[in-house]
């Protein structure tokens, strides 16, 4: 596996640690409250274990995009795992891995 890939997407990526911070947990909770714990895709009200705080525009390590509440949305786990991830994977051929 390429070293650049590991540093960008693997555990060596600094942004991976941002998800473990108190700052992220607070921001995430604020987004859930703002969105009334409702999935922005399907409209389902979600429980704690079935919701994801999703980046509308993938941050790809951009700290400004990562912490921008306007770039965050509540998604149910189903919409996030199925729809959003498939959209991002489909766009890889257009944008490349690093953009």
- Could you give the domains of the chain? 21-95 (3.40.1800)
Please name the residues in contact with 36: beta carbons below 8 A apart, sequence gap of 6 or more.
Answer: 45
Single pTM value for the model:
0.75
Compute φ and ψ for 39, nearest 5 degrees: -65, 130
Banded model confidence at residue 44, pLDDT cuts 50, 70, 90: very high
pLDDT of residue 25: 97
45-98 pLDDT, tens per residue?
Answer: 999 889 999 999 989 899 999 999 999 999 999 999 987 777 777 766 665 554
pLDDT in tens, 26-36: 999 999 999 99
Per-residue pLDDT at 3: 45
The residue written with tokens 């786990």 in the block is 77
Please tell me the predicted confidence (pLDDT) of residue 2.
43
């Amino acid at each position: 596996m390429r070293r650049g890939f590991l540093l960008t997407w693997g555990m060596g990526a600094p942004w991976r640690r941002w998800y473990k911070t108190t700052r992220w947990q607070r921001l995430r909770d604020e987004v859930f409250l703002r969105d009334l714990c409702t999935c922005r895709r399907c409209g389902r009200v979600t429980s704690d274990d079935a919701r994801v705080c999703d980046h509308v525009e993938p941050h790809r390590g951009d700290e400004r995009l990562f912490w921008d509440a306007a770039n965050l949305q509540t998604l149910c786990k189903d919409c996030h795992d199925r729809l959003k991830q498939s959209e991002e994977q489909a766009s890889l051929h257009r944008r490349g891995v690093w953009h």
